[in-house]
Structure 1
Amino acid sequence: MLERVLNAFLDNMTLLKRKSIEAVASRRPARGTRTRGEAPAREEKRMTPRFAPVTFSEMEGVRYLHFGTEWVQGAMRLRKPDAIELEYAQQMMAWLLFLSPSVEEFHVVQLGLGAAALTKFCHRQFSRARVTAVELNPAVIIAGRSMFGLREDDARLTVREQDAWDYVMDGTHAGAIDVLQVDLYDATARGPVLDTTAFYRACRRTLKAPGVMTINLFGDHDSFPKNIERICDAFDNRVLVFPEVHDGNVIALAFNGPEIDVSWEVIEARADVVEKTTGLPARDWVQKLRAANARQEERLKI
């Protein structure tokens, strides 16, 4: 079955060379729902997803994931399939400056699988951590496993075909997650598809204390200020942001739990350890966070 699906993917794989300006509708009425003029049914059925096509491109040894447009939804260097290729995705791991994944029952959750870079990295790098990925589009999950090297589920790895909203609203996940990595974009890639204050408050409820949410936002778009405002509201203004990187991505970190009051020298020492053990540019993270956040220049207090 997987081989047949993979062959279908390969038959339709397209090198995307020009920008598509068509926004694909993300949802449509399910069969049996009412149209105008019809009598109400006994029970309204939930809207079922309508997904943009999953497509791929390759350039200079890097394979990219797209949802039918030129916008990049994830990437993998073919010679380093377990590395995190894109800078903004590397910055999604900046929670490592504040939390250690070596503690017992450490749980990392990824909302939005993309090319599975973060999920693969956490599963491989942190041998004691549980890693869960939540992805609504089954084709993205298949692409992750057939085109981007995502392993099958095991004792520490779980990939769930589920709406991220439903996952964070599930009360069984309250206070159960150490790190929540949020990267939820549709085909147009201009802003998160879940961006309400209610969603961000639900995200916070899933976190342990201490716990950290990292989120990919689009700085060069009117969705950015409203998302920052809503995240700050949900997390009591305990939010740090990175400077904007390639293609407008801005990564934000939001904190749950005890107040952090520490010198940057301590954070820099932690960054040295992270960089040596993971290969991630953690010392660069410290410099950028220190420079980009007001009133945090001398000491991190949040």
Structure 2
Amino acid sequence: MSHPRHDIDVSEEAGVRYLHFGSDWVQGAMRIARPWNLELAYTREMMAGLLLRQETPWPRHALLIGLGAGSLTKYIYRHLPQTRITVVEINPEVELVARFHFKLPQDPARLTIHIDDGAAFMAASQEQYDLILVDGFDPDARAGGLDTAPFYQHCRERLTADGLLSINLLGRNRGFAASAERLRQAFDGRALVFPSCDSGNAIAFAASGNPVAVGLDELRTRAETLKRETGLNLLPTVTRLQMAGSLAGGRLSL
């Protein structure tokens, strides 16, 4: 497998360290004083599966495709100690930068990192995952093989009965509508695109096993508990879902 050949840069401003792939476009961020927190709004929203599944323990095994600055990996490692974490990253230099500049933990018992193409890994994998998080782009904001019908189908096959797929679709991208439709078709319509964040990122969730049905009041209660216990504030996400009319009959259903 050939690895991507692009620059990897790190910058800092106002107490925040940023990861770039040879451009000003931000690939990841960490507030230096709070390295375990999710600094970027879209990364916080990618963890909204914690509002949708309340089985304990959940998730037992999380798969992350695209390491970046390691923000999602570090949040899960710190706040979900019952979760085993597998990360797939195509560029070995990204792992080195995440360890050196972004405090990615070294814990082979809980955290495994594979240097591999995410689409190829999913096609070959026989593991089952409770949570699959996909956030992989090249320097030109292209997802490549991570935005295809076969890839989404492989994700579906790898989910447990209580599994969820969370994916960053980059809502202002020209191919966004086609990406969302491919995802819906792969999951027989059981996919929901959240209203776009201010950054333009749109996060989608999909499920194929046990149904998700959570009322607005319960979503708010779960979000308040999550904020209190881990510092992750998803209350704005719940409000945006309500304002956008995404909660048919006052419930989020998948």
Q: TM-score, normalised by structure 2?
A: 0.93
Q: Is 1:265 aligned to residue 232 of structure 2?
A: no
In structure 2, the CA distance between the partners of 1:102 and 1:51, relative to structure 1 (3 Å rule), is farther
Alignment of 1:50-61 (within 5 A): 50-61=4-15
Question: Percent same amino acid at aligned positions?
Answer: 39
Alignment of 1:167-206 (within 5 A): 167-173=121-127, 176-189=128-141, 191-193=142-144, 194-206=146-158
Measured on the aligned residues, the alpha-carbon RMSD in Å equals: 1.8
In structure 2, the CA distance between the partners of 1:145 and 1:101, relative to structure 1 (3 Å rule), is farther
Checking the alignment, whether the CA contact within 8 Å between 2:241 and 2:247 is kept in structure 1 is no
Structure 1 residue ranges, 4+ long, deviating more than 6 angstroms after superposition: none
- Partner in structure 2 of residue 25 of structure 1: none
- Partner in structure 1 of residue 31 of structure 2: 77
Greater alpha carbon shift after TM alignment, 83-92 vs 160-169: 160-169
Checking the alignment, whether the CA contact within 8 Å between 2:53 and 2:212 is kept in structure 1 is no
Structure 2, unaligned runs of 5 or more: none
In structure 2, the CA distance between the partners of 1:151 and 1:299, relative to structure 1 (3 Å rule), is closer
Shift of residue 299, structure 1, vs aligned partner = 2.5
In structure 2, the CA distance between the partners of 1:76 and 1:112, relative to structure 1 (3 Å rule), is same
How many angstroms apart in 1 are the aligned matches of 2:102 and 2:246?
38
Shift of residue 171, structure 1, vs aligned partner = 4.0
How many angstroms apart in 1 are the aligned matches of 2:137 and 2:51?
26
> How many matched pairs?
253
How many angstroms apart in 2 are the aligned matches of 1:66 and 1:203?
27
Q: Is 1:108 aligned to residue 56 of structure 2?
A: no
How many angstroms apart in 2 are the aligned matches of 1:72 and 1:239?
27
Q: Is 1:209 aligned to residue 161 of structure 2?
A: yes
Q: TM-score, normalised by structure 1?
A: 0.79
Shift of residue 256, structure 1, vs aligned partner = 2.3
Shift of residue 294, structure 1, vs aligned partner = 4.4
**3-state SS of 1:121 partner:** helix
Shift of residue 293, structure 1, vs aligned partner = 4.7
Checking the alignment, whether the CA contact within 8 Å between 2:63 and 2:133 is kept in structure 1 is yes
Shift of residue 266, structure 1, vs aligned partner = 2.1
Match of 1:87 among 41, 47, 63: 41
Structure 1, unaligned runs of 5 or more: 1-46
In structure 2, the CA distance between the partners of 1:244 and 1:258, relative to structure 1 (3 Å rule), is same
Match of 1:219 among 134, 153, 171: 171
How many angstroms apart in 2 are the aligned matches of 1:216 and 1:113?
13
Greater alpha carbon shift after TM alignment, 100-109 vs 246-255: 100-109
**3-state SS of 1:222 partner:** coil
How many angstroms apart in 2 are the aligned matches of 1:115 and 1:91?
16
**3-state SS of 2:29 partner:** strand
Rg bigger for which structure? 1
Shift of residue 231, structure 1, vs aligned partner = 0.5
In structure 2, the CA distance between the partners of 1:115 and 1:141, relative to structure 1 (3 Å rule), is same
Checking the alignment, whether the CA contact within 8 Å between 1:135 and 1:162 is kept in structure 2 is yes
Shift of residue 295, structure 1, vs aligned partner = 6.1
Q: Is 1:49 aligned to residue 3 of structure 2?
A: yes
Greater alpha carbon shift after TM alignment, 292-301 vs 243-252: 292-301
Q: Is 1:296 aligned to residue 248 of structure 2?
A: yes
